[in-house]
Amino acid sequence: MKRKVFSFGILIILLLILIGVNINMGSVAIPFLDIKDIIFNKDSSSVYANIMWQIRMPRIVASLVLGAGLSLSGYMLQTFFHNPIAGPFVLGISSGAKLLVAALMVFSLNFGFYISSVDMIITAFLGSLIVTLIVLLVSSKVKNMAVLIVCGVMVGYICSAVTELMISLADDSNIVNLHNWSLGSFSATKWSDVMIFTPVILISFLISLVLTKKMEAFSFGDEYATSLGMNVKMFKIILILVSSILSSTVTAFAGPISFVGIAVPHIMRELFKTDRPIIIVPASFLGGGVFCLLSDLVARCLLAPRELSISTVTAIFGAPVVIMMLLNKKKR
């Protein structure tokens, strides 16, 4: 119990520090004293205040909330497949969402109609659902988890290739944006976007909290869960739907972001030393936010003023975690 309180404490402290640093750092540094002024003295007219409220804060909230959603989505997929390396990116679900969203964007640019954030979410959701169904079909045919993962990666590649193809063919000035988006980025997040994805992700988080008891029972096997009186079929449908909503929302707003879904739940298991969903669900949610906040900071500042894609950074942090996990698994 002590360990859990302590670990949550660490996460929250990290979160606060990272928010501070994120506001502070950038092509224009906002001194901490000014930050204090802006927050407490309601000094909203200065350049600093503008940068902070209009540019940095939405981006911080985006990395925080979207990162949390992504990590949670990964954890749910891992529960679903009884496999710790499952995640929306690995299974190609993010790429599926990306493909449909890119198609929609290209389509709208060519035909000149406006797409709303909600449209984006729905399109991304459809994309991820299609890929999810493909993956489920494969998983019902082959029981081997390695094959499933390889299939997911392949589907992801196909989706990415088609996306690239469409971007190359799309002949428009917005192409740079589109390209940036397809690599994944929290930049250019607006408050209006935040107002849409935050409720979606928070509601999904609440649903997943309610599902923790079932997740735990389910983690001991489908049949065991059935014997405990659980409606396993229904549970699996809800699980995959919520997970898809989470990952597609993230993809719609920030593009596909790799490894967060796998790495963060694993780091949380190691940090909290438990497998219990009742702990790991909130921990992954919080941890995903912290992880993306840090990654975004690195992405923005490492080669400032140039900006790295968020996936580049999450991959550099996340991939070694996954490799370590595989090595550990081999050892046992």
Return residues touching other proteins (CB under 8 A). 82, 84, 209-210, 212-213, 216-217, 219-221, 223-224, 226-231, 269, 272-276, 278, 329, 332
- The residue (of 269 and 300) whose beta carbon lies closer to other proteins is 269
Least distance between other proteins and beta carbon 274 (Å):
5
CA–CA separation, 25 vs 302, rounded Å?
A: 11
What single DSSP character describes residue 305? T
CA atoms within 13 A on the CB side of 10: 11
Least distance between other proteins and beta carbon 326 (Å):
13
CA–CA separation, 10 vs 31, rounded Å?
A: 24
CA–CA separation, 274 vs 277, rounded Å?
A: 9
- The residue (of 98 and 269) whose beta carbon lies closer to other proteins is 269
Least distance between other proteins and beta carbon 163 (Å):
35
In angstroms, what is the C-alpha Rg of the chain? 20
Give the DSSP H/E element, type plus range, for residue 171. none
Give which of 87, 100, 117 is closest to 258, Cα–Cα: 87
Identity of the residue numbered 182: S
- The residue (of 235 and 253) whose beta carbon lies closer to other proteins is 235
Least distance between other proteins and beta carbon 134 (Å):
22
Least distance between other proteins and beta carbon 148 (Å):
17
234 class by beta-carbon count within 10 Å (0-12 exposed, 13-18 middle, 19+ buried): exposed
- The residue (of 144 and 231) whose beta carbon lies closer to other proteins is 231
Q: Mind giving me the DSSP string for 251-271? A: HHHH----SHHHHHHHHHHHH
CA–CA separation, 184 vs 182, rounded Å?
A: 5
- The residue (of 132 and 208) whose beta carbon lies closer to other proteins is 208
Least distance between other proteins and beta carbon 9 (Å):
19
- The residue (of 186 and 205) whose beta carbon lies closer to other proteins is 205
* Dihedral sign of CA atoms 39, 45, 46, 50 in order: positive
- The residue (of 64 and 239) whose beta carbon lies closer to other proteins is 239
Least distance between other proteins and beta carbon 278 (Å):
6
Phi and psi angles of residue 25, each rounded to the nearest 5 degrees, phi first: -90, 155
